[in-house]
A and B are shown apart, each in its own frame.
Chain A
Amino acid sequence: MKRTGAQIFVESLKAEGIDTIFCYPGGATLNITDALTDISQINQVVVRHEQAAVHAADGYARASGRVGVALVTSGPGATNTVTGIATACMDSIPMVVFSCQVNTMLIGNDAFQEADIVGITRPCTKHSYLVRDVKDLAKIIKEAFHIAASGRPGPVLVDIPKDVSSAVADFKYPEKAVIRSYQPTYVGHLGQIKKAMRLMLHSKRPVLYTGGGVILSNASQELTRFAETLSIPVTNTLMGLGGIPGNHPLFLGMLGMHGTYAANMAITESDLIIAMGARFDDRATGKTDEFAPHAKIIHVDIDPTSISKNIKVDIPIVGDTRNVLTQMLKIIEEEKETYRQYHKDIAEWIDKINQWKKDYPLTYQRNDILKPQHVIERIFELTKGKAIITTEVGQNQMWTAQFFKFLKPRTCLTSGGLGTMGYGFPAAIGAQVAFPKSLVVDIAGDGSIQMNIQELATAVQYDLPVKVVILNNGFLGMVRQWQQLFYEKRYTWTHLHSPDFVKVAEAYGAVGLRIEKEADVDKVLKQAFKNKRPTFIDVHVSPEECVYPMVPAGASLKEMLLV
């Protein structure tokens, strides 16, 4: 059947089962926006800035496990997506971004609103396409969704020139994507897995170090069962939080720069690290030469490039984390007695770790001034952990990682790899669109929230009851912390003047609340969580509070500054 490119676009999205796109219109999108008029199967959320469209698609994807979709116009519309695409790329988030482009005849002519967006985003996409012929459009869209969601997921960009969206072609959506050069490995090599399991039986101080791969491959149940069956303690990276319940007895807390004492010491004294879907990021490892100095390393990852990139690995296993864990659990099932004994063999190690946990818990000093950590603890208690939490970047993000005990996967949405300020609020909007009935809370700083504060209009327009808790300390807190610790308290550029957030919320038609003392925390938070409207909660917290423990940059994990 003959269709225009714009109709092919719409039909292809329907064929992929896409229910939501985050978008912003422009001249080059007109054919497509027109074709989307009256299409009720696809929820169209128009944001206020293209960066937010991509973050919202990202939040939607992280929370739901489905592919996020954004659609923007050419030139500045497309270039505004770069930060969002890079954020998704660093955290391996499945996403397809459709940018529109000037007419094919004009490409390369410095036409009005023209940008070589395929070229600009090449280093931060998993793959990208410029559609030159309407006949290729359906095939390219099929491939784009396949590439975005399979293997190590990531963002794919499809650039559609305006004349391609108006040209006509036969439409038949391909059933399969066939890409001869792209065949990810999903199942781990059994020989390597057996070798890894034998190595494990010889270790006395094993630690599971798990990352975002566990969340992306939906392996958290398998991970928890694996850890429980053998009593192996687990530490998560920031991206891995929720992979094992945050209140699980075997959970050590996050490791790394702001990780717990128990996690960092366990890594340092371990004789075997079992890394699952984690990539040995520098924020997690500290000084790489002194990372796990006594340990052999088993590394499970779907992406071969992650293996032995930063840390030399003894046993690499390329495969999907969930598949590999299932394969490992099968071996344990077959040799129950051996593994039951192993469980006993490492009891001494578990005791040692429990002692660390007891002696050096995450803590902060309580005094008259309201502490941000307390606010996060209360959010956890009042929601009983049943909330989707997004964060911005900086102190708010680290305190959330430390003090909110993520009980389930896909409830911690945070920009781990790129560290993008301004991510949390639009991501919360995306998550709220995916789960309209869930409580979605963005834990923000006064600096970060101002990077995409305009999205309050989107939240109000679409009636998305997102709660934004602004830990307002009057500073760019994390940069200020570094200035305090390493630059003799010379707070250059970090003291921010902020608007009255309550009035800002009200001006947009949202609810604005304020907390100034500890006694009001519960009351105001309860009030916020109960109301069904987008809400800003401006929380005035201690201005010079620092995130501890802290491993200074370039130091080893055992060199922690405690409170």
Chain B
Amino acid sequence: MRHTISLLVENEFGVLSRIAGLFSGRGFNIESLCVAESLDPTVSTMTIVTTGNDAILEQILKQLNKLINVIKVVDFKDIDYVSRQMVLVKVNAEEKTRPEILRMVEIFRGKIIDVSSRSYTIMITGDEDKLKAFISLIKPLGIKELVRTGPIAMARGERLMKIKEKTDIKGGESNG
């Protein structure tokens, strides 16, 4: 089963490799991973898409939580959430096909972000199905190059990924 997990992590060097290493070291699969600074510049947000049964997912969540640099882990399994990914597609744009491409970009609410005499570069955002549909429709026209991000995700409504209040811990003492 496919799962989307969101993480808040310390924005420090080496954190990404700890997380990627955790997955590879334990034989868990990463389907995609997106990471960038959050509203707080000391914290990064990561969205990871992974696959596995419930037992594997439970281990993934626990092991992620165990990493010292991981501040919060949210599994979207039982949470209503929105998710988007982005694709950039460079397609052949001959005089004949340009109107059709433009029409398609409009239908999919994409944007043409670069133009040359023989190509368009198109940006489309959306969920996976939408991107898949667009790519399959544009394919016959000749895709020169394609890059896409993995999904980023956020819970719907008021639910937030909050960081717990800082707790002072004395060396070696229990903090309850």
B139-176 interface mask toward A, CB cutoff 8 Å, 1 = contact, 0 = none? 00000000000000000000000011011111111111
A76-98 interface mask toward B, CB cutoff 8 Å, 1 = contact, 0 = none? 00000000000000000000000
A136-191 with Cβ < 8 A to chain B: 142, 145-147, 149-150, 175-184, 186-187
Residue of A nearest to B42 (CB): A180
Q: Of B63, B65, B171, which one neighbours A142 at CB under 8 angstroms?
A: B171
Contact A147 B167 (CB under 8 A): no
Contact B168 A178 (CB under 8 A): yes
With contact pairs A149-B172, A176-B169, A178-B168 given, residues A123 and B25 touching in the complex (Cβ less than 8 Å): yes
Distance in Å: Cβ of B102 to nearest Cβ of chain A: 47
B16-44 with Cβ < 8 A to chain A: 17-18, 21, 25
Select the stretch in B67-75, B90-98, B126-134 that faces chain A.
B67-75
Distance in Å: Cβ of B90 to nearest Cβ of chain A: 34
B118 at the interface (CB under 8 A from A): no
A104 to B18 Cα, complex, angstroms? 21
Select the stretch in A301-309, A417-425, A503-511, A536-544 that faces chain B.
A301-309
A327 to B146 Cα, complex, angstroms? 60
With contact pairs A186-B176, A303-B66, A305-B59 given, residues A177 and B14 touching in the complex (Cβ less than 8 Å): no
Residue of B nearest to A178 (CB): B168
Residue of B nearest to A123 (CB): B25
A42 at the interface (CB under 8 A from B): no
A176 to B13 Cα, complex, angstroms? 23
Residue of A nearest to B58 (CB): A308
A395 to B21 Cα, complex, angstroms? 34
With contact pairs A118-B14, A176-B170, A305-B63 given, residues A126 and B175 touching in the complex (Cβ less than 8 Å): no
B62 at the interface (CB under 8 A from A): yes
Q: Of A177, A182, A303, which one neighbours B171 at CB under 8 angstroms?
A: A177
A499 at the interface (CB under 8 A from B): no
Distance in Å: Cβ of B87 to nearest Cβ of chain A: 32
Contact A178 B174 (CB under 8 A): no
Contacts of A461 in B (CB 8 A): none
A122 at the interface (CB under 8 A from B): yes
Distance in Å: Cβ of B100 to nearest Cβ of chain A: 49
Q: Of A175, A186, A305, which one neighbours B62 at CB under 8 angstroms?
A: A305
With contact pairs A149-B172, A186-B176 given, residues A179 and B68 touching in the complex (Cβ less than 8 Å): yes
How many chain B residues touch A (Cβ–Cβ < 8 Å)?
33
A103 at the interface (CB under 8 A from B): no
Residue of B nearest to A312 (CB): B55
A130 at the interface (CB under 8 A from B): yes
A183 to B68 Cα, complex, angstroms? 9
With contact pairs A146-B169, A181-B68 given, residues A122 and B10 touching in the complex (Cβ less than 8 Å): no
Contacts of B65 in A (CB 8 A): 304-305
Contact B21 A176 (CB under 8 A): no
Contacts of A145 in B (CB 8 A): 171-172
Contacts of A118 in B (CB 8 A): 14
Contact B164 A180 (CB under 8 A): yes
Residue of B nearest to A309 (CB): B59
Q: Of B63, B69, B171, B173, which one neighbours A181 at CB under 8 angstroms?
A: B69
Contact B169 A305 (CB under 8 A): no
A493 to B113 Cα, complex, angstroms? 66
Q: Of A122, A186, A309, A320, which one neighbours B18 at CB under 8 angstroms?
A: A122
Residue of B nearest to A180 (CB): B166
A323 at the interface (CB under 8 A from B): yes
Contact A147 B68 (CB under 8 A): yes
A147 to B68 Cα, complex, angstroms? 9
Contact B21 A123 (CB under 8 A): yes
Contact A149 B21 (CB under 8 A): no
Contacts of A122 in B (CB 8 A): 17-18, 21
List, sorted by A's number, 9 A–B pairs whose CB atoms are closer than 8 Å: A122-B21, A145-B171, A149-B172, A177-B169, A178-B168, A178-B169, A179-B169, A181-B69, A304-B62
Query: Residues of B with Cβ closer than 8 Å to A?
Result: 9-10, 13-14, 17-18, 21, 25, 55, 58-59, 62-63, 65-66, 68-72, 163-164, 166-176
Pairs A-B, 10 closest by C-beta atoms: A186-B174, A181-B71, A305-B62, A127-B68, A146-B171, A149-B172, A123-B25, A180-B166, A182-B68, A304-B62
